[in-house]
Amino acid sequence: MTQSEEVNDRDGTDLITSLSNGAFRESIGLDTEDLPILQRVAERALTAGDHESAIRTYAILVLLDPMRTDYQLALAECALSVDSPDIALHAASAVIAFDPANARGYFASARACIAMGLLDEAREDLDDVCRLAREARDGELFAAAQALAEGLA
């Protein structure tokens, strides 16, 4: 291994690249078509009230396909349900980074910020939710964001 390869390996660059391009998923013998099975496992755990299993399963899904914002959002929701707003904020931030027009990413971020006491940041996120939800004509999300914002006033 060259010195440059050692540095990349130590700082996690190779791992990050492997995760983001699907090489890790492929190296353990999974294809993207296999992931919906895991998603159903997570959904069933959540329905059964086993939030800890659901959050672990969604975390695995995020590692296997980090670019899927629906997995990131589900992880954020699960994390919020088990009082882990830090995990929720990381997942929501990934959604926002991958898809800056995703109002649900900002909504999850706002809820995580509120749980962490970061009220100014929550207000900023809620402003973004309202703007994006209005543009997308998502009245339900717009109303939920407004109600949450009014609770902060």
Q: Tell me the two tokens of residue 108.
A: 């999850």
Q: Residue 149: its pLDDT value, please?
A: 96
**What is the average pLDDT across 89-118?**
97
Answer yes or no: are the C-beta atoms of 103 and 118 closer than 8 Å: no
pTM of the model: 0.81
**6: enclosing H helix or E strand:** helix 3-11
- pLDDT tens per residue, range 26-72: 666 666 777 888 899 999 999 999 998 999 999 989 988 888 999 99
CATH superfamily of 31-152: Tetratricopeptide repeat domain (1.25.40.10)
Backbone angles phi, psi at 22, to 5 degrees: 85, 0
Cβ of 135: how many Cβ atoms within 10 Å?
A: 11
Report d(CA 20, CA 33) in Å as an integer.
16
Does the pLDDT value for residue 98 go beyond 70?
yes
Q: Residue 12: its pLDDT value, please?
A: 57
- Mean confidence (pLDDT) of the chain: 86
Q: Tell me the two tokens of residue 39.
A: 């998603």
